[in-house]
């Protein structure tokens, strides 16, 4: 597998000083965005399927083991505060359960049935979409989940970094950014993990934009949970409604902190 092969450019990385090590890492990381660029059509195709599922009342599930699973959980967790969706709309599942987010449970990835059981436990149905995250393209836990999800007619998407990964056979859409061997052999939390994070950013962000959760490039449905976001909401209302800071703040208070409600109120007052 490409992700398990030896990187000739970092064979002497253990002989480098700190600057030399991070220079090699940075040089390798620069390849990631270019690899993702090559699979933009597949990412867009996946977004279209996710949006279609959302319109039909479906949900988006990320599932994976190790770093892949953690990245899915990170992306899913950011959707409710950023876009105002319910926590069930985008969910992340990791092999080994929630404890594996904080402490690795490496052998949890070897059970193909457990992936499907974990999906079912979250209420997964045929109208939902599952994105399998597996840099190797062959993780049993993730492959098992996609195999069974496909059997019931759900949309299956796979994100992996080895072109020959068997998970391709189980996916309606395969997103395969080939980032090459890691600077530390097999440590796929590096380039492969970065590529996955970039793809997940696109899947969730583009899907939320397509479903009306953004006006222009502004987060009109974000949940205000701290002072920084309060200031951001006021600035957003000032820009969209062309009002003063005081007017924006008042409308926000009267709407119970709901930005979209405040915006409607301000626009009606024009």
Please tell me which residue in 4, 42, 52, 78 is annotated as part of the active site.
Answer: 78
Concerning whether 109 is annotated as a catalytic residue, the answer is yes
CB 83 within 8 A of CB 221: yes
End-to-end Cα, the chain, rounded Å? 61
* CA 148 centroid distance within chain: 22
Catalytic residue among 42, 109, 148, 182: 109
Cα 74 from Cα 61, distance rounded (Å):
12
Token representation of residue 53: 């599922």
Q: Which residues pair with 133 in a beta bridge?
A: 64, 159
Q: Which two tokens stand for residue 92?
A: 């992340």
Distance of alpha carbon 61 from alpha carbon 52, whole angstroms:
14
27 CA to centre of own chain: 24
Catalytic residue annotation: 78, 109
């Amino acid at each position: 597998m490409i992700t398990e092969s030896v990187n000739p450019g970092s064979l002497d990385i253990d002989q480098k000083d700190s600057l030399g090590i991070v220079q090699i890492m940075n040089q390798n990381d620069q390849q990631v965005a270019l690899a993702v660029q090559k699979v933009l059509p597949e990412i867009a195709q996946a977004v279209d399927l996710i949006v279609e599922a959302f319109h039909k009342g479906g949900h988006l599930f990320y599932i994976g083991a190790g770093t892949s699973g953690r990245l899915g959980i990170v992306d899913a967790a950011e959707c409710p505060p950023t876009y105002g969706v319910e926590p069930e709309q985008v969910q992340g599942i990791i092999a080994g359960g929630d404890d594996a987010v904080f402490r690795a449970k490496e052998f949890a990835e070897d059970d193909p049935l457990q992936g499907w059981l974990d999906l079912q436990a979250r209420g997964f149905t045929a109208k939902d979409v599952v994105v399998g995250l597996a840099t190797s393209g062959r993780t049993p836990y993730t492959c098992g989940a996609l195999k069974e999800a496909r059997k019931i007619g759900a949309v299956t998407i796979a994100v992996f970094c080895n072109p020959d990964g068997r998970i391709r056979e189980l996916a309606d859409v395969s997103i395969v950014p080939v980032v090459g061997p890691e600077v530390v052999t097999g440590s796929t939390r590096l380039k492969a993990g970065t590529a996955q994070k970039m793809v997940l950013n696109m899947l969730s962000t583009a899907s939320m934009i397509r479903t009306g959760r953004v006006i222009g490039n502004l987060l009109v449905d974000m949940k205000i949970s701290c002072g920084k976001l309060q200031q951001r909401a006021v600035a957003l209302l000032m820009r969209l409604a062309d009002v003063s800071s005081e007017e924006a703040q008042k409308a926000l208070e009267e709407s119970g902190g709901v930005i979209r409600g405040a915006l409607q109120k301000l626009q009606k007052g024009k």
